[in-house]
A and B are shown apart, each in its own frame.
Chain A
Amino acid sequence: MQKEIIISGFGGQGVLFAGQVIAYAAMDSGKQVTWIPSYGPEMRGGTANCTVVIADQEIGSPLVKNPPLVIALNLPSYDKYEPMMQVGGTLVVNQSMVDRGAKRADINTVFVSANEIAEQIGDKKLTNMVAVGALLAALPEVTIETLEEALKAHLPARHQHLLPKNYEALRRGFESAKEQLAVIV
């Protein structure tokens, strides 16, 4: 088993942390994992992305050209990664930040209004966790429970009080994606 995930968005949307949470969950489930950020001379508001690879065996390339799993938190990321995706892959799009539908019929595109859901829960900063929850619907190797455990285990003490809202964000994203994927399948 090997799964590659690219998470992309504006700097400040929690792209890198979203990848780290998945990496922690994969590690805690006994999997091999790599997390690598784009580390160009970027600044807040610019684009940021990271690649997470999860596998059962020693991981070769930490980078992937045609990912099977992508989270696009904004339109530039959607435009960039949609054409690069593996056939049959799942693309989670933050519907709050894009103004177009899917161009490809050979991948599963899941639209999640991550900004609105996050705001309903009460913290705009949870956008990334809503999207991660949605991705988990297409990543059975990492369960939502493992991810919650990972958050609990690795979130600094000063942020532990935010856990319930993070859990809610994950579950809302997961449910939203599961409904859409059920229709597709």
Chain B
Amino acid sequence: MPKELWKGNEAIAEAAVRAGLEAYFGYPITPQTEVLEYLSRRMPELGRAFVQAESELGAINMVYGAACTGVRVMSSSSSPGVSLMMEGISYIAGTEVPAVLVNVMRGGPGLGNIAPAQADYNQAVHGGGHGDYQAIVLAPASVQEAIDLTVLSFDLAEKYRSICMVILDGCVGQMMEPAEMPEMKPVHRENWDWNTDAKMGKRERRILSSIYLDPVEEEKMNLRLLNRWRTIEANEVRYKEYFLDDAEIVIIGFGTAGRVALSAVREARAQGIKVGLLRPITVSPFPHKVIDQLAGRVDAFLVTEMNSGQMLEDVRLAVKGRVPVEFYGRMGGVVPFPDEILNEIHRMAKVKLSADVHPRDAWLERMAHV
């Protein structure tokens, strides 16, 4: 297919359609509304289900119901809206049905603003809903990646009967880039052994629920989820490397923070500083192993995020104190410029770094001018 200029949000919507999306339920919120708007036109055109629900709570429970029937189903929202969906997300996890959820993150907490942010990392990666569950979380940094990862999210969700979240910030949602759409895939319903359908009396009854009143049974379910997660961790980690071969300093950043860092890395390289970039594509499962390996041969890490250092803690777990891990973040909807990250690279290349101070505390002191 030839490349077309696609807006991130609309690209996600069309990619979902081409991946066989049969039902979409959502509620408008900036900077995500174009997903809903696009599908409100596109889905009925194809005879598929589109509902603008009365609320996010309504939307996620419609997703839950549709997921139980085994069709490809999706919702999308932005930070405050995703918070409202958390109860439903936990129920979907507890029922072990596949669903795709897109979060085009904005500044927070609370109502915040509509500018790009990455402050829902912890909510997406480390829970959000109650109970022991983990979601697969993909973090595109470009429109093409948003398309590819949306398609992938349906496959992963089904393969592991899991929630698959695509988290991006308002930048990726609102920007236009040349991108290639996949071929239209015909709607295809797998012959699952778990979904509810209209075959009453023709086979043994199937029950889908997140209720396990017997704690021993619930624990068995928890173990099943955990073992499944180990398989996901072993098979589904994805990331992109830039200039890592001879890197002495490695920047780690996802989504827009990652691509802004790429500009800084190129500039630093042009100045002769050996710096590279690791951009996680799956932030859950997290690329622990590659960071663990890098920690054995590089001098220092710099984590850049559009939040207060949420992924930073996961990087620190992987580095295990072997080399300094520094942090640079912007919050509240502020997108860093490359020169800010370049300044950090210059600082790291010049001064002796200490592992005694927590990187967030040191960064806070450097942020005193804001």
Interface pair B178/A33, CB less than 8 Å apart? yes
Query: Smallest Cβ distance from B220 to chain A, in angstroms?
Result: 47
Cross-chain pair count, CB within 8 angstroms: 63
**Which residues of A27-71 have CB atoms within 8 Å of chain B's CB atoms?**
27, 32-37, 39-41, 58-65
Residues 103-118 of chain B, each 1 if its beta carbon lies under 8 Å from chain A, else 0: 0000000000011000
Q: Is B163 an interface residue (CB 8 A)?
A: no
Name the one of A24, A36, A60 contacting B266, with C-beta atoms under 8 angstroms. Answer: A60
Query: Smallest Cβ distance from A7 to chain B, in angstroms?
Result: 13
Stretch at the interface among B167-175, B191-199, B209-217, B312-320: B167-175
Which residues on B sit within 8 Å (CB–CB) of A37? Answer: 174
Query: Smallest Cβ distance from A165 to chain B, in angstroms?
Result: 23
Interface pair B337/A23, CB less than 8 Å apart? no
| Smallest CB gap from B179: residue in A | A27
Interface size on A, residues (CB 8 A): 22
Interface pair A36/B337, CB less than 8 Å apart? no
Which residues on A sit within 8 Å (CB–CB) of B256? Answer: 62
| Smallest CB gap from B242: residue in A | A58
Interface pair A27/B261, CB less than 8 Å apart? no
Q: Complex: how many Å from CA A61 to CA B116?
A: 13
Interface pair A39/B338, CB less than 8 Å apart? no
Interface pair A36/B176, CB less than 8 Å apart? yes
| Smallest CB gap from B333: residue in A | A40
Query: Smallest Cβ distance from A129 to chain B, in angstroms?
Result: 18
| Smallest CB gap from B178: residue in A | A27
Interface residues on B, range: 20 to 34
Query: Smallest Cβ distance from B101 to chain A, in angstroms?
Result: 22
Q: Given A27-B5, A60-B266, answer yes or no on A40-B114 (Cβ-Cβ < 8 Å).
A: yes
Which of B114, B175, B259, B338 has the largest number of chain A CB atoms within 10 A?
A: B175
Q: Is A74 an interface residue (CB 8 A)?
A: no
Residues 244-286 of chain B, each 1 if its beta carbon lies under 8 Å from chain A, else 0: 0000000000001001111111100000000000000000000
Which residues on B sit within 8 Å (CB–CB) of A94? Answer: none
- Extra inter-chain contacts (13) besides given A35-B175, A40-B115, A60-B261, CB under 8 Å: A20-B5, A23-B5, A27-B3, A33-B5, A35-B176, A35-B177, A36-B175, A36-B176, A39-B114, A60-B260, A61-B260, A61-B337, A65-B338
* A residues apposed to B, CB below 8 Å: 20, 23-24, 27, 32-37, 39-41, 58-65, 154
